[in-house]
Structure 1
Amino acid sequence: MSKSQLKEAALPLFAEQGYEGTALSEIAKAVGIKTPSIYAHFASKEALFMEIYRDVMKHELVMLDEVVKETHSTVREALHAFFYKVTDFNVDPQVKRFFQRAIFFPPQALAKQMREEMTTYEALTSQSIGAILVQTLDKAQQENWIYVFYCLLDGLSLEHEIYSKEDFEKRRDAAWSALEALLA
């Protein structure tokens, strides 16, 4: 039994049931071990959860970096690709759901630490977006665009769970149109 196998088993459980709703015994059962064996790899349930949280943030940052490094003929095209990549909740759905749950409903005991780490993650994400925006917008406009982007991203992450695929796509396209208008 490896650390990575434990994380692979725990991620969908945390994603679907949340931190509080997931028992270490469920994770152990999913990988075919007894609960105390988990402690050979993780000091606590909190340590396991936080390692998955950090892995998910790294995964998202790598994905965003790939989009930024892609060749695009215009700033709009680059931002369009970035926006649609970030709001594609069908790619790695368990990872996305884990991240959403962790951000919107962090475990109380870990909330402060998670917010601090989220601040770092968001700063790195903002740098990625800023690397694209710097070509067309001044500093204040960049900041405003990024704030609107985050608000729309948060809303779309919830709407993805509520609306049909068709309705979600309409809302995502409308959100993109609003962001695109800020580039003019």
Structure 2
Amino acid sequence: MSGQRLKEAALPLFAEQGYDGTALSEIAKAVGIKTPSIYAHFASKEALFLEIYRDVMRHELVVLGEIAQETHATVEDELHAFFYKVTDFNSDPEVKRFFQRAIFFPPQSLATQMREEMTTYEALTSESIGNILLRKLDEAQKEKWIYVFYCLLDGLSLEHEIYSAADFAKRRDAAWEALAALL
């Protein structure tokens, strides 16, 4: 039994049921161990959740790094690829759902720590976007574009859960058009 296997079993449970709705006994059952055995790998449910949270943030940063490695004809094309990649909630759906839940509804006992770590994650993401934008916009315009980007991303992450795939696609396309107009 490894800590990685426990995280793989816990992620979909936390994604679907949230932190408070997931019992360690469910995670243990999913991997075929007794609940106390989890403590050989993680000091607490909080420690397990936080490690998954950090893994997910690292995963998302790798995905963004992959976009930066791609060749794009224009700044607009690169930003378009970036926007559509981060608003693709169908790739790694459990990871995306876990991240959404963790961001919007963090466990009370971890909320402050998670928000601090999210600030670091967002700074790294903003730096990636900002490096692209500075090839086209000045600093003030860049900052405004990034703020609008995050607002649209947050809204789309919720709309993905509410609307049909076709309606979501229309909304995402409209959001991109509005964002691209700021270029």
- State whether TM-score is above 0.5: yes
CA separation in 2, counterparts of 1:139 and 1:69? 23
CA separation in 1, counterparts of 2:64 and 2:145? 17
CA separation in 2, counterparts of 1:68 and 1:157? 22
Show structure 2 runs of 5+ residues with no match.
Answer: none
**Aligned twin of 2:155:** 155
CA separation in 1, counterparts of 2:145 and 2:68? 16
**Aligned twin of 1:15:** 15
Deviations 1:31-75 (Å, cap 9, x if unpaired)? Answer: 000000000000000000000000000000000011012110100
Residue 100 (structure 2) pairs with residue 113 (structure 1): no
CA separation in 2, counterparts of 1:81 and 1:131? 15
Residue 166 (structure 2) pairs with residue 166 (structure 1): yes
**Aligned twin of 2:177:** 177
Once the two structures are superposed, the pairs formed by residues 12-161 of structure 1 within 5 Å of their partners are 12-161=12-161
CA separation in 1, counterparts of 2:117 and 2:69? 24
CA separation in 2, counterparts of 1:148 and 1:86? 14
- TM-score, L = length of structure 1: 0.99
**Equivalent position SS for 2:55:** helix
- Following TM superposition, by how much is the alpha carbon of 1:95 offset from its aligned partner in structure 2, in angstroms? 0.1
CA separation in 1, counterparts of 2:84 and 2:131? 17
Identical columns (%)? 83
**Equivalent position SS for 2:6:** helix
- Following TM superposition, by how much is the alpha carbon of 1:131 offset from its aligned partner in structure 2, in angstroms? 1.1
- Following TM superposition, by how much is the alpha carbon of 1:30 offset from its aligned partner in structure 2, in angstroms? 0.1
Deviations 1:121-158 (Å, cap 9, x if unpaired)? Answer: 00000001011101000000000000000000000000
Deviations 1:97-120 (Å, cap 9, x if unpaired)? Answer: 000000000000000000000000
Question: Alignment RMSD, CA only?
Answer: 0.3
**Equivalent position SS for 2:20:** coil
In the alignment, residue 76 of structure 2 is paired with which amino acid?
R
Kindly report structure 1 stretches of 4+ aligned residues shifted beyond 6 Å: none
CA separation in 2, counterparts of 1:46 and 1:122? 22
How many residues were matched structurally? Answer: 183
Show structure 1 runs of 5+ residues with no match.
Answer: none
